[in-house]
Amino acid sequence: MRIILLGAPGAGKGTVAELLTARYGIRQISTGDILRSAVAAGTGPGLEAAGFMKRGDLVPDELILAIMEKRLQEEDCRTGFILDGFPRTIGQAESLKKMLAALSMNIDAVVNLEVPEDVIIRRLTSRRTCSNRDCQAIYNIYTKPSKKEGVCDKCGSPTVQRDDETEEAIRQRLVTYAEKTAPLIDYYRNDPAFMSVPSLKPEPVIEAIAARVGQ
């Protein structure tokens, strides 16, 4: 099973991906993860990506695609994968389509997670993240609070609100999403694999995907 998850920041892509991974045993693949892994492994593309990242520059699409192509052919992706947060632009989507065709891979579902803006803002402003870089556990003061307020359950470090999860920052992120990433919905809309699902709770999303792919 191969799935692409679309949706604004805070739409629940991470939660849905986690549940799909548990249910079907498929891998969640994010751009950040594969870049960090390639850099840590010291591969040619990884070292090239590291140069861009150290300078604070965006890693070019062609380099991301080269790293992703290698990642999707690894053994743990043989039974399927979930692309979380990629593609982000129509250009990336077109390049991804060509790459998958060359690998004889089909996408079973392109899932757009629908969430009202006020819900997104509530979700993200209530997130708290462990300040320990080796932990980074995520909590929510409403739905998944730490046992002791302001303290990580896993390592005991302080939990903090990230700078990009204040209301002002989130509204700006949503503007950027509307300008650059939301057009992907129209790009995929006529694809037979496309589906748009309300994402107020993750469980109905999982069942809708299961019904679509017949598993």
For 20-175, strand residue ranges (E) read 27-30, 81-84, 109-114, 127-130, 138-140, 159-160
> What distance in Å separates the CA atoms of residue 147 and residue 211, rounded to the nearest whole number?
37
Name 113's bridge partners: 197
Minimal CA–CA distance to 14: which of 82, 76, 78, 108?
82
Q: DSSP assignment, residue 180?
A: H
Query: How far are the Cα atoms of 75, 76, 138, 156, 176 from residue 143, in angstroms, in the given order?
Result: 35, 32, 11, 20, 27
Q: What tokens were used for 26?
A: 């498929």
For the chain, strand residue ranges (E) read 2-6, 27-30, 81-84, 109-114, 127-130, 138-140, 159-160, 194-198
List residues with catalytic annotation.
Answer: 13, 88, 127, 162, 173
